[in-house]
């Protein structure tokens, strides 16, 4: 098996924003708190980090800042995927230049692509940049599904080291695991499927939940991998209602509301995203208090 970027839980971290731009003071506090809570890795400026509405300059600066703040204490994986392969290469090169440990490359969105097109696009980034890369399959957002057979072909590339599977299709993930074996790491992209995907040989999760509960999300993964399967499964079930609340509206709307309630950011999102509806917020905050969070 190739050397993998992390085992356990990586936080798909929010980007604290306000009317002036990225709030780097709050971003610094959030990163330090995540590391103090023993998170296994940080994924910067992905979907949860609102990468799609940051300017090019903000996107790059947020990656650079994250790398410099973390100082190698945990791996930093930069969200640099795009529906424009040339731009993905450009952004990925920058991420490498500033010291990112790896890349998260989402499948093309809106214009989409065939399986052949996705394969060629991912190979173009991997071969140009030569940095460990995790592919990101999230058909509900992108409109295209990266099939197991395509991932298996991409696994032959030395720089493709993992895949974040957020299709929600356990049968597809099982097929993927049967094809790639130990060639690359599979990570759950859905917090409500951490344990089911671990049971298929996953190395962990790229998580929204861990913005709020980094220690617990990491612990859930490591308990399972250490053979404490019942304890890990209990944690999955204990947090299932909170996870549902975190996805009761489009991500990252609820997690931004949650982190604002914890004091880590303003409840500010860029249009077309809008703050969480009051009735959903009430449910989310109640479940956060039930989980022991002070809000």
Question: Which comes out higher in pLDDT, residue 222 or 2?
Answer: 222
> In the chain, where are the structural domains located?
8-226
Structure tokens at 84: 């424009």
Alpha helices in the chain (DSSP H): 24-36, 56-70, 85-97, 115-129, 139-142, 148-154, 170-180, 194-198, 214-225, 229-238, 240-246, 253-261, 278-290
User: What is residue 210's predicted lDDT score, i.e. its pLDDT?
Assistant: 98
User: What is residue 242's predicted lDDT score, i.e. its pLDDT?
Assistant: 98
At 152-205, the pLDDT tens digits run: 999 999 999 999 999 999 999 999 999 999 899 999 999 999 999 999 999 999
Q: What is the mean pLDDT of the chain?
A: 97
- Average pLDDT (270-287) is 98
Question: Using the 8-state DSSP alphabet, how is residue 4 labeled?
Answer: P
SS3 165: strand
pLDDT band at 141 (very low <50, low <70, confident <90, very high): very high
Q: Tokens 């130990």 identify what position?
A: 182
**Distance linking the first and last C-alpha atoms of the chain:** 43
List active site positions: 136, 164
Q: Tokens 């599977």 identify what position?
A: 165
Q: Tell me the CA distances in angstroms from 232 to 83, 200, 228, one per residue in order.
A: 37, 15, 6
Is the CB of residue 147 less than 8 Å from the CB of residue 122? no
- Average pLDDT (222-243) is 98
At 73-122, the pLDDT tens digits run: 999 999 999 999 999 999 999 999 999 999 999 999 999 999 999 999 99
Q: Is 132 exposed, middle or buried (0-12, 13-18, 19+ CB in 10 A)?
A: buried
Residue 1 has pLDDT above 90, yes or no: no
What's the pTM? 0.96
Report domain 8-226's class: alpha beta
């Amino acid at each position: 098996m190739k050397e993998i970027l992390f085992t356990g839980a990586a936080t798909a971290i929010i980007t604290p924003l306000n009317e002036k731009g990225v709030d780097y003071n709050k971003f610094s506090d959030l990163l330090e708190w995540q590391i103090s809570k023993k998170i296994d890795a940080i994924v910067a400026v992905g979907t949860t980090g609102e990468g799609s509405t940051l300017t090019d300059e903000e996107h790059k600066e947020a990656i650079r800042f994250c790398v410099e703040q973390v100082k190698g204490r945990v791996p930093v994986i930069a969200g640099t995927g795009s529906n424009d392969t040339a731009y993905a290469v450009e952004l990925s090169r920058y991420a490498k230049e500033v010291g990112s440990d790896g890349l998260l490359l989402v499948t093309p969105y809106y214009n989409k692509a065939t399986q052949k097109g996705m394969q060629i696009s991912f190979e173009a980034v991997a071969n140009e940049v030569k940095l460990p890369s995790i592919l990101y399959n999230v058909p509900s957002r992108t409109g295209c599904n990266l099939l197991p057979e395509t991932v298996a072909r991409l696994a032959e590339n030395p720089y493709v080291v993992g895949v974040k599977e957020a299709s929600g299709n356990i049968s597809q993930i099982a097929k993927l695991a049967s094809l790639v074996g130990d060639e690359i790491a599979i990570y759950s992209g859905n917090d409500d499927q951490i344990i089911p995907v671990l049971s298929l040989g996953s190395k962990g999760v790229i998580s929204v939940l861990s913005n709020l509960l980094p220690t617990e999300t990491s612990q859930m993964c490591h308990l399972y991998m250490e053979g404490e399967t019942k304890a890990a499964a209990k944690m999955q079930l204990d947090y299932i209602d909170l996870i549902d609340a975190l996805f009761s509206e489009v991500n990252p709307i609820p997690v931004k509301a949650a982190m604002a309630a914890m004091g880590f950011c303003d409840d500010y999102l860029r249009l077309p995203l809008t703050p969480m509806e009051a009735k959903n917020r009430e449910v989310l905050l109640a479940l956060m208090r039930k989980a022991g969070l002070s809000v």
